[in-house]
Chain A
């Protein structure tokens, strides 16, 4: 991708540290993500990649450093020249331009597919029910599930549920989409349909950060691949470089398991 150097990054992470009790899982992450960029984060289990993703929309609070999305520092603001924690409601407001897709889909089981999709647009973004439903039907068409609008999540296969979850995240018209291992809970034969939907989104210029184990997706759809290990970014660059010709021994060791 031709990232225009003059535009401001959509996501800025600076020296991000995060610990769970004594265990430090992020040990200083620096990363800029440009608008329209598709970044795939690879790395072994426990490398901190999911945690980092969850720090971006402040589902997890970081302990050092800063994360900015669209020019706003997540979770904090400066007042009287001091940094203060935002209230829960203010943080909720910051999250509204970020869509997220979870490993376990997390559809609302008591709502139909359509209700799942319009819940946030109507309840959080103040769209009219009619407008939100029309948009939801368009999104369902895009992910190929128009006929499932009135089904409950339980009645869908895993792959279909994840595509609904993607439509639900798109319905808030996000500036940034976060994918937290979106295919890891799926049966192998259902992975393809979800990846195809995501490839589609990548082509349309949506800014995406994808944590995944799908090397093929990274190779085909990513503008940039970030390889993380042990809470740090080990290597990053164009997919053909990082995947095709990894420089670091740990990247090589990780990728060799997929070849």
Chain B
């Protein structure tokens, strides 16, 4: 017994077999079978879908690049971009107001967020679209005093403005909370250091705090952006010709409901996939200095680790 143990532990004997560098992974039969079964099921399902005439794949192919669909896609895309940009800017302002020492700024930002997160987006869109029934005239005026300028509400609130305002204000409420969370995630010492070096609050925020907060702001913002693309489909209720509205307008004529919805689905998936890729690049950018993931940065990190051990 002890003889066996000793030879096993002795480095000079053939015990080198216990050196983990020589280890190999045994063949996992069970896992291979599982893989094969799942692959078979998936392929079979794909085959069934592809050969099911009810899906109308030829129709899907015919309309995928239809001019109406293209213009709807274009509307969905720019509406997403405009609403997201406006929503993020306003969200940043709200987040800063919410964290301010000033009670008025804090409570008005809180009220805004409470209202716009607390009501359904669809309802908000319909309200904006029908604003003229509440306020037939929009004026710039001295409070309780005379109007300086005045417009007919229906000329200001078109489907486009209603869609932009509705989506952006709603988005701002969510972005405000995401940005606030990001700002709070940055170590308090960073703001203090910026302060000690005589930076103004704005500069400290812009140069020191926000770049660090981005690491926790980007992932949920990617979520929001993808939600936003799909949320633009809600504007079809206020007669805005977005992607969903354009496929609806086609199937109302041709009655090819399922194939046309598939066209929309394919485009939504295509856009969100591209956004996912973009998001991972942005995350890598703001993660710099945090952890070295890229292959190119590895030697530097390893060198630093060796250095740090001195």
Contact = CB atoms under 8 A, between A and B. Distances in A.
A146 B104 CA distance: 49
B199 A123 contact: yes
Contacts of A95: 195-198
A63 interface: no
A95 B310 CA distance: 36
B308 A110 contact: no
A100 B196 contact: yes
A101 B197 CA distance: 10
Contacts of A102: 189, 192-193, 196
Contacts of A88: 200-201
Given A120-B198, A157-B310, 16 more contacts: A59-B192, A89-B200, A92-B195, A93-B198, A95-B195, A95-B198, A100-B196, A106-B192, A106-B193, A108-B208, A124-B199, A151-B304, A152-B288, A155-B307, A156-B308, A160-B307
A172 interface: yes
A44 to B, nearest CB: 23
Nearest to B215: A110
Contact of B291 (A120, A154, A160): A154
Nearest to B191: A106
Contact of A123 (B207, B286, B289, B305): B207
B300 A106 contact: no
Given A95-B198, A120-B197, A123-B207, A155 B190 contact: no
Contacts of A43: none
Contacts of B211: 110
Contacts of B304: 151, 155-156
Which 7 A-B pairs have CB atoms at the shortest separation, nearest pair first?
A155-B304, A152-B289, A96-B198, A157-B308, A95-B198, A106-B193, A100-B196
A155 B290 CA distance: 9
Contacts of B286: 110
Given A124-B198, A151-B300, A110 B289 contact: yes
A154 B286 CA distance: 14
Interface of A: 57, 59, 88-89, 92-96, 98, 100, 102, 104, 106, 108-112, 119-120, 123-124, 151-157, 160, 172
A120 B301 contact: no
Contacts of A112: 289
Contact of B199 (A92, A106, A109, A111): A92
B147 to A, nearest CB: 36
11 contacts: A92-B200, A104-B189, A106-B192, A108-B190, A108-B208, A109-B212, A109-B290, A110-B290, A119-B207, A120-B199, A123-B199
Interface string B59-82: 000000000000000000000000
B218 to A, nearest CB: 13
Contacts of A59: 192, 195-196
Nearest to B308: A157
Contacts of A123: 199, 203, 207
Contacts of A98: 196
Nearest to B202: A89
A153 B289 CA distance: 7
| Residue among B198, B207, B301, B310 with the highest chain A CB neighbour number at 10 A | B198
Contacts of A108: 190, 193, 208, 212
B227 to A, nearest CB: 28
A170 to B, nearest CB: 12
A119 B207 CA distance: 9
B99 to A, nearest CB: 14
Contact of B289 (A94, A120, A154): A154
